[in-house]
Amino acid sequence: MKIAVFFGGNSAERDVSIASGCQVIAALREIGHEVISVDTARGLLTPHEEHQLLEKGVDTTPFDEKSLLITHEQANQLTKATRSKSVDVVFLALHGGTGEDGTIQAFMDLARLAYTGSGHKASANAMDKDISKQLFRYAGVPTADWLMMPVSKQDIIDKIGLPVVIKSNSQGSSVGLTIVKRPEDIDAAIQKAYQHDDEVMIEKYIDGRELTVGILDETALSVGEIIPKFSDHFDYESKYQVGGAEETFPADLSEEETKLVKELALKAHKVLKLEGYSRVDFRFDSKGQLWCLEANTLPGMTATSLLPQSANVLGIDFPKLCEKICQLAIKRFKKGQDKHS
């Protein structure tokens, strides 16, 4: 296959996307595919530009607003880059922002290009935490109580109670997220979340084990457990710095518990109308209750990221996983073409 890998972009998760893109490119080339690299903030990269960009690691903090402004000003030559190279499929190694909220997906649909992951409507629904949680409840997938700003501090305390998680409604990688245990800390946490999004969610904090499961081709993979080392939750630093978290696949769960996690993950995946692959995250409280946190339409894609670990337990190594994701994208694209022919 001839594959264009889209990565970088202009979201706060730009560094994370570059890390994913680096390893996806290497994995696909390793098994014989022709790959071109495209930074969606800059366009098609030369081999030298690719090397310079991909050798950079993930910083300890999200991409800052000043740096994002610089990438916003760069020319975007996405369609030209892919069409001129006659690629079979675009691998979206993007995270957050317009790379994951349905914007780039709608652009790909208009350009009639095959691309990995879910369509634009499903991507938009999954990125919007408020909409996702409403759909989870509709499908019978338990999720913690929540409120959307604006809401008074007293309403937060009366209707949800402390502690709460205050976070941006449409950000990934825990960007802008704060766990608040004291009333006097609520306002600062809300302002922090507003720095990254126009909508802010106040969610009941669920204390318990953090579980995750990958979905590939409508099948739940291995369930894993994440134990953060730098914080009391799986924050940005814990996710992307060496030693930031202990990740165990498969998780130490009973057969019945494992089965339930997989069933709920598939329900979440399907009610959002996701396609190809995803990763669904849960909290497992001390009473044995599972609570769905979110579904990730374009989860991290380094060899040691959670989805690849979830697949590896079942004998799907990283290069084969990347290839399978591309094959599913081409299959979905051809199905759509046949439908409209």
Spot the catalytic one: 15, 128, 279, 332: 279
Give CA–CA dist 161/70, Å, rounded.
41
Spot the catalytic one: 300, 310, 312, 332: 300
Q: Is 294 a catalytic residue?
A: yes
Rounded CA Rg of the chain: 19
Contact yes or no for 3/326 (Cβ under 8 A): yes
Question: Phi and psi of 281, rounded to 5°?
Answer: -110, 145
Give CA–CA dist 125/54, Å, rounded.
30
Q: Is 257 a catalytic residue?
A: no
Q: Is 138 a catalytic residue?
A: no
Spot the catalytic one: 96, 294, 312, 323: 294
Q: Is 13 a catalytic residue?
A: yes
Q: Tokens for 197? A: 């999004």
Q: Is 276 a catalytic residue?
A: no
| Neighbouring residues of 313: CB distance < 8 A, sequence distance ≥ 6 | 221, 222, 249, 250
Q: Is 279 a catalytic residue?
A: yes
Spot the catalytic one: 296, 305, 310, 312: 296
Q: Tokens for 248? A: 């165990």
Q: Tokens for 324? A: 């399978």
Spot the catalytic one: 172, 281, 305, 310: 281
Give CA–CA dist 287/281, Å, rounded.
18
Q: Is 128 a catalytic residue?
A: no
Max distance between CA atoms of the chain, in angstroms, equals: 60
Spot the catalytic one: 176, 240, 275, 310: 240
| Side-by-side strand order, sheet with 277-284 | 245-248, 219-228, 209-216, 277-284, 290-296
Q: Is 42 a catalytic residue?
A: no
Q: Which amino acids are annotated catalytic?
A: 13, 173, 240, 279, 281, 294, 296, 300
